[in-house]
Structure 1
């Protein structure tokens, strides 16, 4: 088995691959598969947190051995084998993206090239999902938050890979041969099998069996002779198992992989003109919703350039010049032009809405019902010169948007969102309150989230967080939480000046409901790694410390611990928590708090003690041994795991 330093080095190397894939995804151009390249790269980028936790775990003095009951209960592969398989899977994704950047060949028609690329995309997606399913999470002590994120990525990969299930059995057989069959077994296959596979059928209209093998071999970096050896083995297996005619072709309806989050390219009408080049982000190649200018004068989509900066890059992606500062200046002129272009081309129409119908997840259609004339009249009144009329219309829209999904769709269709965003800056506090609450209610319908972000709602909502009446502040925090459920929006919102600071201020000084709304929004934003340090810099630990100290704030203890459990996955978060003298409070909670709070306290303490002998000695001095022993015996399943792991570290400390 590989040593801990070797596992850590492997995780570090994989982090480099992930960063390369994240960047390559933005520059891959594969015709109809361009969006699939972007989506696949985005899913890979979400694995950064997993690899960081694997690296941290491997760097600990003595991680749980794989032979222990804890590790063996959920592991289907050894840690070193998992990292080797993950390396192969990520390199397959990277290789696919590189292949997608190749200029089209003059010898092959575009439709055939696209089908070949679709097979390689599907296989790379399938291989990555299969590998993640073998994650030995207990061995690496992966946090529940990251495990949930990995499961989400797996679910998205699985949906994408299963768009055409006819290839999955072939993929499984090829994968088994590529990674688990010994070389001598390859050579034992008879040449007659290879010849039988070569009988081409001139009636093939798509991709034959042999071509799939070649394509999969290529995306895994294997040579043509190796692909032929795989053909020979696979034919023998299929004939022995009676799996049917190996010359069966891939179906005509090979579809591009799909993702839960739709891009603006998919929102636009089929007959809309091509998006102007200047409206596309140079990184993501997608229509910009929130264009910002960097120090070199280049314009990017805020979330894309913010992700680039958060990965430690300090150069302009387009010009490669060093960024003299990291300020992102909104490009209001370009955003206005983009919004005008969207309006002219119908791109603000929510995806799935066709002639008064919305497509449901089962493929059926639901007829949209509502008083369209009334809604259009109310939206018109929002722009009235009468403040009273504006206030009345905003209140009515607020009420309608609360009642049903149909109303949320129709209100957005009537063009209310940009007008409501304008009213966020109204002089009348009640109009502000109605406007922000309307936006909150409208954001419940997922397809409205993109329109709200495109309309530039975040900066005026930040102003409301700072100076609006308390109900408006509460609902602004709730709206930010709702919008941040989209991963890309976590980056955009967190990178908007004052967003995190304003939420921290509400967490410190708000009403009980305001504090809960702020805590929920901050927790969700901090799932994105780059926002953790922003929250620490914004002073989030001060209100969290107050919540843990004050017995009267017992209802907020759970929220405080949940946020802390996310912050300590970042090194700066760990250091700040220790400096704030939170360890004694966490140990007290192990003794006296509710089961869930004990569980979170143990998880936070374990994170603080990883790779930190000084923190481990501190919890030993403060008497954590007894409550941890009790928790390991009678706590929740997760609490038992965390407490047991901490006790093992403490026992090792005493024996040294």
Structure 2
């Protein structure tokens, strides 16, 4: 089998002929992976004696194929033994064919095994248990480096239960004076962000009072990287358990926690940390126990989160917009939240604008917010109902019913149209150009 590489004619030949030629180059068959038929970059040999490229055979095995692709023999072992002889021959051949545009394949690093990972994790557990922060930090740094080395390493590290061991170490070192263990705790937080999603055991460790207090401390006092990592790990902790309300209630009781989360929105570190903060806040105002949920909402409203989100939504990108609308919807479920929304000039225009503009989820939240604000309006002049008409709510809701939406959203949209229709005759419609680019889903 041959492959063609197009190369420019070099030197005087190029000057004379001034054109590009096709040169045919034959790759030796024993340099090709039997699966992909491409030049092998990391040749490994199976227990059947057949050599494949590591990526191809790993993909084959991960697809639950437990036989050798060539011999069809059942694999008695899944160990992949590096074939250094073939690899060196391929590298020499690449150097020899350099003039054809062939680049020498780099010498691959041998992937880490689950046994090696387990050995490192055992040392991390021991060192953290004995409060040996220096040794623990060195070991965690090693795990991080291995995870970043290759995707294959990362999968092996995650599958070996690294998340729960790191979380246990974080909890153990947080129980002591965490101010003295900042360096190692920061390193553990950074490593944890590489092994998401976290399992239930890791969530339990990170949901301990000591761990939560430590992460809040990083949110309040850490640098940009520390605040980002703390927010990401807190988010994973909040959403990875069936008992979310216990963790969110405990988090809300920690002094400065709510203020630190709001600060991540007001003074964003990066889009990822902003999303994480919004997810945590949503969990707190949605998954907490009934009594604490209302108290948490009141505290967020007092921090001017409603006004902040209204401003934030003006030019927020899609995923952030969905999360911000979700939080705003929950806050508007309280009287104090609605009062703040009524007072902010951007609330109605922004919420109406997001209908049919961002995503189905954003539309669902927007209609829900609009419904809560309009149905709880007490002023005789119509107040927000009239305002929503002026910014085009009636036309958008009609279009939403025509395009189609979820049943609960449809019920709220219908209910809103009835309320809006009372005031419609004395107000002009908005310019229909607002919907010019909208495409129906059918």
TM-score, with normalisation over the residues of structure 2? 0.56
2:321 counterpart of 1:575: no
Paired position in structure 2 for 1:513: 272
Q: 1:643 aligns with which of 378, 396, 413?
A: 413
Matches within 5 A, 1:172-211: none
2:187 counterpart of 1:434: yes
2:355 counterpart of 1:601: no
List per-residue Cα deviations over 1:195-217 (Å, max 9, x = no partner).
Answer: xxxxxxxxxxxxxxxxxxxxxxx
CA distance in 2, matches of 1:569, 1:611: 10
Per the TM alignment, residue 541 of structure 1 is displaced from its structure 2 partner at its CA by: 2.8
* Contact map agreement 1:634 1:640 (CA 8 A) in 2: no
CA distance in 1, matches of 2:121, 2:354: 52
Per the TM alignment, residue 431 of structure 1 is displaced from its structure 2 partner at its CA by: 3.0
CA distance in 2, matches of 1:473, 1:462: 9
Matches within 5 A, 1:246-645: 372-382=118-128, 389-396=135-142, 403-404=157-158, 406-408=160-162, 411=165, 416-422=169-175, 425-426=178-179, 430-438=183-191, 441=195, 444-454=198-208, 456-485=210-239, 486-509=244-267, 510-527=269-286, 528=288, 529-530=293-294, 531-550=296-315, 553=317, 555-581=319-345, 582-590=347-355, 592-613=357-378, 614-638=383-407, 639-645=409-415
CA distance in 2, matches of 1:595, 1:410: 36
CA distance in 2, matches of 1:412, 1:595: 38
Paired position in structure 2 for 1:191: none
Per the TM alignment, residue 376 of structure 1 is displaced from its structure 2 partner at its CA by: 2.9
- C-alpha change, 1:595 and 1:532, in structure 2 (3 Å) is same
* Contact map agreement 2:307 2:340 (CA 8 A) in 1: no
List per-residue Cα deviations over 1:37-63 (Å, max 9, x = no partner).
Answer: xxxxxxxxxxxxxxxxxxxxxxxxxxx
CA distance in 1, matches of 2:219, 2:253: 16
* Contact map agreement 1:424 1:460 (CA 8 A) in 2: no
- C-alpha change, 1:650 and 1:462, in structure 2 (3 Å) is same
CA distance in 1, matches of 2:404, 2:299: 33
Matches within 5 A, 1:119-134: none
Q: For this pair of structures, how many residues does the alignment match?
A: 287
* Contact map agreement 2:332 2:372 (CA 8 A) in 1: yes
Per the TM alignment, residue 515 of structure 1 is displaced from its structure 2 partner at its CA by: 0.9
* Contact map agreement 2:349 2:391 (CA 8 A) in 1: yes
Per the TM alignment, residue 600 of structure 1 is displaced from its structure 2 partner at its CA by: 2.1
CA distance in 2, matches of 1:637, 1:505: 34
- C-alpha change, 1:558 and 1:374, in structure 2 (3 Å) is closer
The farther-off stretch of 455-464 and 629-638 is: 629-638
Per the TM alignment, residue 654 of structure 1 is displaced from its structure 2 partner at its CA by: 6.0
- C-alpha change, 1:374 and 1:595, in structure 2 (3 Å) is closer
Per the TM alignment, residue 562 of structure 1 is displaced from its structure 2 partner at its CA by: 1.6
* Contact map agreement 1:443 1:483 (CA 8 A) in 2: no
Task: Flag the structure with larger Rg.
Answer: 2
List per-residue Cα deviations over 1:475-528 (Å, max 9, x = no partner).
Answer: 211222222232211211122221111011112222111111111111111113
CA distance in 2, matches of 1:387, 1:515: 30
SS of the residue aligned with 2:313? helix
CA distance in 2, matches of 1:444, 1:387: 23
Per the TM alignment, residue 612 of structure 1 is displaced from its structure 2 partner at its CA by: 1.3
* Contact map agreement 1:418 1:452 (CA 8 A) in 2: yes
CA distance in 2, matches of 1:646, 1:578: 17
List per-residue Cα deviations over 1:395-437 (Å, max 9, x = no partner).
Answer: 3466599833542487279x62433425893567653422224
CA distance in 1, matches of 2:370, 2:173: 45
Per the TM alignment, residue 554 of structure 1 is displaced from its structure 2 partner at its CA by: 5.0
Which structure is richer in relative contact order (CA contacts within 8 A, separation 6 or more)? Answer: 1
List per-residue Cα deviations over 1:521-566 (Å, max 9, x = no partner).
Answer: 1111111323222222233234422322236x45522221121122
- C-alpha change, 1:426 and 1:432, in structure 2 (3 Å) is farther
CA distance in 2, matches of 1:493, 1:600: 25
* Contact map agreement 1:443 1:479 (CA 8 A) in 2: no
- C-alpha change, 1:598 and 1:445, in structure 2 (3 Å) is closer
List per-residue Cα deviations over 1:72-130 (Å, max 9, x = no partner).
Answer: xxxxxxxxxxxxxxxxxxxxxxxxxxxxxxxxxxxxxxxxxxxxxxxxxxxxxxxxxxx
CA distance in 2, matches of 1:442, 1:625: 43
TM-score, with normalisation over the residues of structure 1? 0.39
- C-alpha change, 1:512 and 1:448, in structure 2 (3 Å) is closer
SS of the residue aligned with 1:484? helix
List per-residue Cα deviations over 1:349-395 (Å, max 9, x = no partner).
Answer: xxxxxxxxxxxxxxxxxxx9886553232233447898754431233
The alignment yields a C-alpha RMSD, in angstroms, of 3.5
* Contact map agreement 2:238 2:280 (CA 8 A) in 1: yes
CA distance in 1, matches of 2:367, 2:179: 47
Per the TM alignment, residue 449 of structure 1 is displaced from its structure 2 partner at its CA by: 2.5
CA distance in 1, matches of 2:116, 2:164: 7
Paired position in structure 1 for 2:7: none
* Contact map agreement 1:590 1:627 (CA 8 A) in 2: yes
- C-alpha change, 1:595 and 1:387, in structure 2 (3 Å) is closer
> Is there any run of 5+ residues in structure 1 with no aligned partner, and where?
1-367
